[in-house]
Amino acid sequence: MKTPGNFSETGFASIPVNPATFPGLNTMGMSFVRADFKPGAINPPHFHPRATEIAHVVEGRLYAGFVDSNNKVFARVLEKGEVMVFPRGLMHFQMNVGEVPATIFGSFNSQNPGSQRIPSAVFGSGIDNSLLEKAFGLSSKEIVMMRRKFDPKATVKP
């Protein structure tokens, strides 16, 4: 957790620390993550089905928030030294709004919090195209384009 991990095309890198990488956490009911953001980078909307997360900003400025079960957004810009809590199972997100890299340390109240990224779950999972067309008001061609974007290994037909 001393240095950033490998950056994705969104400019985001994370290093998880859990019993698989640090056996001393086994049975402790906790895990951690270091997340780094290049300027303008995002951590796409996602949720953790088995844990609440507390994110502490170590460097930079992040726009961060979550959406509650009534579809109300709770978001703000966090600066160095500030924290935000993301309740278990609620969709949340982060974006570096600063001009320099940003880093957060996140802690979870589960040794196996899980992580489900919304774009990949919807368009990279194999949900029937006709259902997605109706749910999002998109054409078959647009669904295929989204599938290619979020699951490049998929061979999809309109």
Residues belonging to the binding site are 43, 46, 48, 53, 92
Binding-site entries for Mn(2+): 46, 48, 53, 92
Considering only CA atoms, which of 125, 150, 149, 130 is closest in space to residue 140? 130
Considering only CA atoms, which of 34, 47, 56, 42 is closest in space to residue 12? 42
Whether the Cβ atoms of residue 107 and residue 48 lie closer than 8 Å to each other: no
Binding-site entries for oxalate: 43, 48, 53
| C-alpha span between 3 and 81 (Å, rounded) | 19
Q: Which DSSP state fits 120? A: H
Contacts of 113 (CB under 8 A, 6+ apart): 31, 48, 49, 50, 51, 53
